[in-house]
Structure 1
Amino acid sequence: MKRIRVRRTIRTTALAAGALIISLGGLPAAPVQAAEPAPRIDLRVLVVSDGGPATAAIAAELDGAGTPYTVVDLADAGRPVIDAAFLADEVDGRPRARFQAVVLPNDNPFPAGSPEMAALTAYERTYAIPQVDAYTYAQPQAGLEYPVNGGYAGPVDGITAQVTAAGKAGPFGYLDGAFDFEDNDPSVDESWGFLSRPRAGADFTTYVDAPLPGGTTRGSLVGEYRHDGRRELVVTFVANRHQQQFRLLARGIVDWMTQGTRLGTSRNWFSVHVDDVFASDDRWDTELNCTPGDVDCLPGQGTPNPIRMTPDDVGRAVEWSRSRNFTLDLAYNGGGSVEYREEHGGSDPLADRLTGDREAFRWINHTYDHPYLGCEQDVSVVPWKCATNADGSVRYVGRDEISRQIADNRQWADRAGLPLESGELVTGEHSGLKLQPQQPEDNPHLAPALADNGVTWLASDNSRDPVQRQVGPALTVSRHPMNVFYNVGRAAEQVDEYNWIYTSRAQGGSGICEGSATTTCLDAPLDPATGYADHIVPLEAQIAMGHVLANDPRPHFIHQSNLAEDRIAYPVLDRILDQYSALYADDTPLVNPRMKDVGTELRERAAWDRAVKDGQVAAHRIGDTVTITAPPGTAVRATMPAGTTRALADGPAAFGEPYAGTVSGSVAAGPGQDGVTLSLPSAPSAGSPSAGPARATSPAPGGPVPAGAARPVPPGVER
């Protein structure tokens, strides 16, 4: 096992100056003496769940970051009893706290006088362990006035919340300030909350608040309550893991309860791949409701009318990328330029302009001619099927042809001077990989061809093949398809095809949505003149933002046709970037990685997550040192306070990368070292817990859970 040690610059032997240790039974013990060993605090979170969406959301956030936690399900008859022995013990003569933080469904989910709540109360005070009340009623036991005393209780859909000055200076400093609660469906309550002011005399600091409906008075939604030597983060609204209001606050909730020192990492990621560059894309026929020249039209049906970028479209792409400080990844087909030159007397102004502005973009091999590289397609029927040999076996595109498509496109790029990462590959339509229902297995010739050409990262479609997997020498990098169609260059064409796909047969559509509640299904056709701007743009931006805010590094992909003609991709991309800029502070930028870096992140994350889930990762803090063990070869992922340094043989070096007010990254042992030592600028601030008798509160249910939080309402659009 790898041993990693994190060393603090301030050495302590007691929990806080002047603090008294309280026994887990709730009785005061003798004052801590300097000679007594500092307690060991394991870096693991205890999540006590009532089965509701609030605790599930926090658990999902921990999961996504790779932060270890233990769930106790209160509805499970066989669950462990939360008592002194469950929470703490002694290791090598040193007291050990098994959890660095406690998450409860509300401020006290147990019956009155419960010994379990008493044990938790004593444990938190003894070891200065923070508690998160995932969704609790506003009441004096939580440091707040009852809502009836000048507050509010009810739906909070669509409210505008605000991070307070204390929140910005504290755990939510990565947010710019104001943000809206979702209101996807006006007919459904999606979130419920209690807005209330702090109780007079209570040591309560509001971090996030909102105005009471119909007035200017503000009430707390998230705040810290200090009492009886304990710290609680009091959350008085309910949301599920997918709702934007939770996603925005999740990082701060976890940083608050772990005091900025935890295992796991999290970023907000956004990359956009533009496929088919130098080639052209077939156009949707609004009369035939198919795409002449492609497999959804029968051979000979309709007249192909391809869409291809112009030099002016390149100029717009360059200007946009520079003005937005955002790099697009262009997946190119060199054969498209060769064909164009052959048909236009050797001239291709588009290729000349793109290669002249090559440094404005990142470039990815998308095969030379963009052929389908899976089974050989029989397009005499719609939908197409795999051609078969005489013995009934599937006829696949061969290894030599796949290899030629990869190598010829790479050679074309070398001649054009395109800066490439030679290990990256996007096959046309992700072909060669399995595709249900026609081709349930990968083309057996694909992996050998990838090996022939040194391909290490292979794009896949996240809607069909979301889990990273090995294909020969390559690992897949799944990409999110954006619902801005490849076969349209104009907004009206996009709306027409959208209406065809997502409306009923009675409304002139395909009927694919009949009996379905898919996010994109329509009650009625969109207006061709306004449907794109008013419905599709906000919906696609909201779906993409859901990925961005979920620590999901997978790229999104569109097509070169979407940068041509009406340039319909930009309204979606601008909306995403504008919304993000309005929500986040400058120290929390969008991370815009290229394909190989996404693949590396997914690979390292998967290895870390497996080790955590298999119980092969352990970490604890003793005074100024954090010790982490993980399987050999597994990069340890950690988030630490800003200013943390790593001790190396030739001197200290900065640890990790700054992000959202902390630093985070992967930690590995250096040459000749059996572990890694990190020095923190100061010990985590745990407040100043004071001694006092244990207090058991009366049960405090969180409150109503509306249907939209219990069962997420699909993303909606502006109305």
Structure 2
Amino acid sequence: MARSALGWRNTAAALAAAGLLVTGLGVPGASAAPEPRVDLKVLVVDNGESPVGAITAELRSTGVPYTTVDLDDPGRPRIDAAFLSDTAGGTPRARYQGVVLPDEAPFGTGSAEQSALEAYERTYGIPQVDAYTWAHPEVGLEYTSDGGYSGSLDGQEVAVTTAGRSGPFGYLEGPLTFEDNSATALESYGFLAKPREGFTTYVDTAVPGGTGRAALVGEYAHDGRRELVVTFAYNQYQQQFRVLARGIVEWLTQGIHLGRSRNYFAVHVDDVFAPDARWDTERNCTPGELDCVGGGGEETTAPVRMTAADAAYAAQWQRTSGFTLDMVYNAGSGEEWRSENGGTDALADRLLADRAEYRWVNHTYTHAFLGCVQDTSTVPWSCARNADGSTRYTSRSDISAQIRDNYGWALAKGLPVDRTELVTGEHSGLKSLPQQPADNPNLAGALSDNGIRWTGSDNSREPDQRSVGGALTVPRYPMNVYYNVGTKAEMADEYNWIYTSRADGGSGVCEDNPTSTCMSEPLDTATGYLSYIVPQEARTALGHAVGNDPRPHYVHQSNLAEDRLLYPVLDKVLAGYRALYADSAPLENPRQSAIGTELKRRADWRTAVANGRVTAYRVGRAVTVSAPSGTQIPVTAPEGTRKQTLLGTSVFGTPYAGRRSAWTTPDTLQTALRLTLP
């Protein structure tokens, strides 16, 4: 081994023990030793269990490159010095900036692979996450028998300690309660124990049935190594993991990594200006829908439509809550309403007076179905056929007119609308199984004719962004607040019909669908919406918001009318978020085009990484990233980081959650992105 490399290895061990390596600080008298190159990639050792899978999902979502070693694969590479490190241009190179393990020693204590990994971590100051382990002295904790606890953590309130707030979990403010969604199922199991010397607690909780508090997440510094020890089980969908995941990644990467993560929440309100059909609580169907038979074909329920008072309330709610809604509008439906009501429409007048309060999205002029021509002679409907047996589709000119006329109306009324955004009625035009297995072939051309770059799709059918000609889809989450109800009682009644068994008076759909379950008993229609449906829907939406998921949610104008069903859900989501997160991590509320851009950048980045076309590393305070020309590069770095420019440096990124991050590219005439850490 060269003397300079050996000098670095000894220095690195001392730095790691002193906690200085993360800042790239030098050591007096050690300048002769070359600082190593540390590649910005994570090593994941996977045992197939959910905690490692959850952390892997967080790395993937954030955009952090990683290499997985599957412990169950007999052909996997052996973990040795050659696998972990080498030299690059004569400089010692660490191939991985952090290591994720199932537990503290998955290869077996004292084994060759475990010893090689531990030596690597000491040499280069590489941190290790123990995804899930039990409390014992080898991870810096006492046994649970010494005043601790092991068992269910369902419903347990946990908190970030002072050390956690000043460290990797500084973006959190209030306590976090572990999920407890079922009275009969165990959802979280964990070990609570007192820390030993060298252990710094980041997240703790009160010991059930005992006294004092005990650690759940903390750092154990020992033998020149650092481990983040997690002593509760979890999966990637549980809120407790999603809230803590950012801190785990920041600790693992020492706050310097490829990838970018924010918390997002956007809500589209469809059918603005149009009325929505109302659920019939007697016939258990919605008049106007093909399967709603009986009643002589007439409308048996009055449609649901916002009033001017509802519109005034929406504007005031936005101002009070600090949250902007996206009004997804059908101008032609509103004009028809006006003509049928003596030329007046107080709702439209109020919304137009408050036009600047909202974002507006084109929803086509009359909410026409833009896919195949529907043959409604059967239930369910089918696609009409031409004489030659081919599918009859809505024409390009008709689709284009729906888009053009709605946009033109918005311009004439002074609405702040983005021409590039569209949501078709019922997401029509896009493929819709089982009747229409392919997009309307006329849709892509019509989108191009009108400058559409982003068109909404149904996330429950198509969760991935895809192209439609030159446009890209923006998948939207349907919220479980139904379009065809205006009151709490109607909402609970329809919910009962869907989610209770035939024996309890429901449709039995929940019995027939293997992916669904029936409620044990019907909801009280007077109280069930607020007591049961709202908490469930708010929990789901908040889970998306804290999961670095920018995809918007959608509801309908009927949910802002009558009992104003949407607001209790939104209030609960916003209050829950603000109780958890510090001001440094605000909830971002982007419009559809920004969401589409974010999704496209992520897809392009994943492709570049998967194709091996990204090289990224740091040497001391210098970070260098090379990627294919034109690729937007996501980077997260500490406050004080500067980007090299042609004539000097500039402040890098924008602040979020105590770091600075950005999608960025190399400066003019530069072939690589270069950052200088503080």
User: Normalising to structure 2: TM-score of the pair?
Assistant: 0.94
Tell me if structure 1 keeps the 8 A contact 2:497–2:506.
yes
SS at match of 2:302: coil
Following the alignment from structure 1 to structure 2, what is the Cα–Cα distance between the partners of residues 416 and 409?
11
Which whole-Å CA distance do the structure 1 matches of 2:427 and 2:581 have between them? Answer: 34
CA distance in 2, matches of 1:16, 1:537: 58
In the comparison of the two structures, how many residue pairs are matched?
Answer: 659
Match status 1:109 vs 2:102? no
Equivalent residue of 2:113, what SS?
A: helix
1:243-282 pair list within 5 angstroms: 243-282=238-277
1:87: Cα distance to partner?
A: 1.0
- What is residue 655 of structure 2 aligned with on the other side? 658
Tell me, yes or no, if the aligned pair for 2:307 and 2:346 is still in contact at 8 Å.
yes
Q: Answer whether contact 2:324 2:357 (CA < 8 A) is retained.
A: yes
1:196 counterpart residue number: 193
Give the distance between the partners of 1:482 and 1:566, measured in 2 at CA. Answer: 17
1:659–1:429 distance in 2 versus 1, CA, 3 Å: same
How has the CA–CA distance of structure 1 residues 357 and 16 changed in structure 2, closer, same or farther, with 3 Å as cutoff?
farther
Query: Counterparts of 2:372 and 2:199 in 1: how far apart (Å)?
Result: 65
Residues 209 and 283 (structure 1 numbering): CA distance in 2 closer, same or farther, change over 3 Å? same
- SS of the residue 1:513 aligns to: helix
Is 1:164–1:206's contact at 8 Å kept on the other side of the alignment? yes
Structure 1 residues not aligned, in runs of 5+: 1-12, 23-30, 682-719
How far apart in 2 are the matches of 1:21 and 1:420?
Answer: 55
CA distance in 2, matches of 1:189, 1:67: 32
Q: What is aligned with 2:630?
A: 633
Match of 2:282 among 270, 284, 287: 287
Q: Say whether residues 1:448 and 2:445 are aligned partners.
A: yes
Quick one: distance in 1 between partners of 2:442 and 2:206? 62
Contact 2:511 2:517 in 1 (8 A): no
Q: What is the CA RMSD across the aligned residues, in angstroms?
A: 1.8
Runs of at least 5 residues in structure 2 that lack an aligned partner in the other structure: 1-6, 17-27
SS at match of 1:209: strand
SS across alignment from 1:48: strand
* 1:400 Cα offset (Å): 1.2
Structure 2 counterpart of 1:689? none
Q: 1:519 to 1:215 in 2, by over 3 A?
A: farther
Matched, 1:133 2:153: no
- Which residue is equivalent to 2:117? 120
**Is the CA contact (8 Å cut-off) linking 2:501 and 2:511 kept in structure 1?**
yes
- Mapped contact 2:625–2:674 kept (Cα < 8 A): no
* Match in the other structure for 1:461: 458
Paired position in structure 1 for 2:551: 554
After TM superposition, the structure 1 stretch with the greater mean CA deviation from structure 2, 499-508 or 422-431, is: 499-508
- The answer as to whether partners of 1:21 and 1:32 remain within 8 angstroms in 2 is no
Q: 2:80 aligned with 1:76, yes or no?
A: no
| Distance in 1 (alpha carbons) for counterparts of 2:515 and 2:491 | 18
Residue number in structure 1 paired with 2:25: none
Q: How does 1:261-410 map to 2 (within 5 A)?
A: 261-298=256-293, 300=297, 302-410=299-407
1:238-295 per-position Cα deviation (integer Å, ceiling 9, x unaligned):
1111111111111001100101000111111100000000111011111111111233
1:419 aligns with 2:416: yes
2:619 counterpart of 1:622: yes
Q: Is the 8 A contact 1:20 1:32 kept in 2?
A: no
TM-score (norm 1): 0.89
**Whole-Å separation in 2 of the counterparts to 1:18 and 1:236:** 28
CA-to-aligned-CA distance 1:508-533 (integer Å, 9 cap, x gap): 22222114454674232211111111
Structure 2 residue identity aligned to 1:125 = R
Q: CA deviation at 1:595?
A: 0.3
CA–CA separation in structure 2 for the residues paired with 1:516 and 1:109: 40
Change (3 A) 1:570 1:677: same
Contact 2:330 2:362 in 1 (8 A): yes
Q: Cα 1:473–1:110, aligned 2, differ >3 Å: closer, same or farther? A: closer
Residue-by-residue CA offset, 1:33-87 (whole Å, 9 max, x unaligned)? 4223211111111111222111111111101111011111222211111111111
Shift of 1:393: 1.8
* Cα deviation, residue 215, structure 1: 3.1
Matched to 2:188, the amino acid is: S
Structure 2 equivalent of residue 505 of structure 1: 502
Q: Tell me if the contact between 1:288 and 1:302 (Cα under 8 Å) persists in the aligned partners.
A: no
Residues 137 and 143 of structure 2 are in contact (CA less than 8 Å); yes or no, is this contact kept in structure 1?
yes
Name the CA distance, whole Å, in 1 between partners of 2:516 and 2:159: 29
- Counterpart CA distance in 1 for 2:31 and 2:669 is 35
| 1:593 equivalent in structure 2 | 590
Cα pair 2:627 2:672 within 8 Å, conserved:
no
How far apart in 1 are the matches of 2:150 and 2:546? Answer: 28
Which region of structure 1 is more displaced relative to structure 2, 493-502 or 312-321? 493-502
Contact 2:13–2:122 (CA<8 Å) still a contact in 1?
Answer: no
Match of 2:23 in 1: none
Indicate the SS of the match to 1:571.
helix
Q: 1:350 to 1:16 in 2, by over 3 A?
A: farther
| C-alpha distance 308-294 of structure 1, shift in aligned 2 (>3 A) | same
SS at structure 1 position matched to 2:210: coil
Give 1:715's aligned residue.
none
Separation of aligned partners in 1, 2:252 and 2:578: 26
CA distance in 1, matches of 2:468, 2:278: 32
The residue number in structure 1 matching 2:37 is 40
Match of 2:235 in 1: 240
Question: Structure 1 residues 151 and 20 mapped into 2: Cα distance closer, same or farther (>3 Å)?
Answer: closer
| Contact persistence 1:104–1:131 (CA under 8 A) | yes
Aligned to 2:62: 65
If each structure's helix is expressed as a fraction of its own residues, which one has the higher value?
Answer: 2
Letter in 1 for 2:42: V
Does the aligned pair in 1 maintain the 2:501–2:508 contact within 8 Å?
Answer: yes
- Between 1 and 2, higher relative CO (CA 8 Å, sep ≥ 6) is seen in 1
Paired residue for 2:202? 207
In the TM superposition, residue 367 of structure 1 has moved relative to its aligned partner by 0.5
Name the residue aligned to 2:569: 572
After superposition, the C-alpha distances for 1:334-362 in whole angstroms (9 at most, x for unaligned) are: 11221122112211111111000001100
| Structure 2 counterpart of 1:95, from 92, 96, 111 | 92
Q: 1:386 to 1:327 in 2, by over 3 A?
A: same
8 Å Cα contact 1:375-1:395 kept in structure 2: yes
Structure 2 residue 532 is the aligned partner of structure 1 residue 535: yes
- Relative distance call for 1:18 and 1:446 in structure 2 (3 A) is closer
Residues 90-128 of structure 1, C-alpha deviation per residue, up to 9 Å, x if partnerless?
Answer: 222111111111111111122342111111111111101
Please state whether the residue corresponding to 1:577 is helix, strand or coil. Answer: helix
Q: Supply the AA of the counterpart residue of 2:290.
A: V
* Partner Cα distance (1:18, 1:108) in 2: 22
CA contact (8 A) 1:66 1:612 kept: no
Q: Which of 642, 647, 668 is matched with 2:665 structurally? A: 668
Q: Deviations over 1:319-340 (max 9, x none)?
A: 1111111000000111122112
Q: C-alpha distance in 2, partners of 1:362/1:294? A: 30
Find the counterpart in structure 2 of residue 223 from structure 1: 218
Secondary structure, counterpart of 2:316 in structure 1: helix
Give 1:381 shift.
2.7
Is structure 2 residue 486 aligned with structure 1 residue 496? no
> Secondary structure of the equivalent of 1:38?
coil
1:238 match: secondary structure: coil
Q: Aligned equivalents of 2:105 and 2:289: distance in 1?
A: 61
CA gap 1:494/1:514 in 2 versus in 1, 3 angstroms = same
Cα distance in structure 2, aligned partners of 1:172 and 1:258: 13
